[in-house]
Structure 1
Amino acid sequence: MKRYIAIFAATALGLTAAAQPATARMSDKDKAAAAAAAIAILGIAALAHNKHHYQNGYEPGSGEETAEFERGYRDGLHGYPYWEGNRTPSYAEGYQAGDREREISMAHRRVAAEAKAPPMAYRGCAEIVARNFAVGLNHVHFTRVRSPAKHEWLIEAAVGHQYMTCTMRDTGELIDLRGGQF
């Protein structure tokens, strides 16, 4: 979409420059016309940019409805709670659209419940890896986890570009420690 805006702006600038005679100065009237053309093209590009937010055939009918929709959209997109003080249909539509887009954009962060080790297993692995690399616990990042057996967890941890794999019990007890990824 940014590419379209840039193309529209470049086209407006090119048309404005081509329409002007080759003189050293532009009159105030010519400057106002060029500014109006650029604003019109950028306005069309901005409207086209936000049009993808509207779903299920909904489209605001006025500027006030558009503002309410955008307010709801931003609230939903950023995960803010639904504003109960605003009961307009435009806000509700915007909130739903923003919330849906947030869910889609956050999908890569969702991890299935069975792929999450117990907190004690994570903590034990983080402490061992931090000691091995002589860093604080905040520098240890978990990249993958799986359960090879009941109450056992294979946890891959990274510090920078270096990896270690811990095999842990649910209680945080270390079973095995290897360097590298699994």
Structure 2
Amino acid sequence: MKRIIALLAATTLALQMGLQPVEAGMSDKDKAAAAAAAIAILGIAALAHNKHHYEEGYEPGGGEETAEFERGYRDGVHGYPYWEGNRTSGYAAGYQAGDRERENSMAHRQQASAAKAPPMAYQGCAQIVARNFAVGIHQVHFTKARSPGKHEWMIEAAVGRQYMTCKMRDSGELIDLRGGRL
């Protein structure tokens, strides 16, 4: 999230610096159109960032519902109690998504030590899953791991509500990759 904000701030600054000499010759109508285009780009980037949090088929209806979803998501992901005073569908959907994300991020702590794959296998799987979902490695959470054969590991990884299963060697080499749960 911090990386996206920094990227957007740098892009905005670069656009402003690049447009200053040209701005003198621009009409008010052109300036308004440029501002609207910049706002649209920032809005698309913000929506694309959270697309993995939404359940299949759910999408907030407007700005207020998106804000309620984000509030619920933050409460769920940080383990805060459900706020009974807010009875909106956006908050409820966000809380469920945040709670699921919290469960996924803590799943590796609940695995038995015998079922943990080697670090190289986890690292290789995280890089591949992050690349497939176009997210950072820190957003990939491992929920399960098992060994179907000698020096092979089946690792279930989650990004938001979406899952992928990697079949990896101990060395971090990919054997097979498929969508879905283990």
Q: So what's the TM-score if we normalise by structure 1?
A: 0.46
Indicate the structure whose relative CO is greater, using CA pairs within 8 Å and at least 6 residues apart.
2
**Structure number with larger C-alpha Rg:** 1
Q: So what's the TM-score if we normalise by structure 2?
A: 0.46
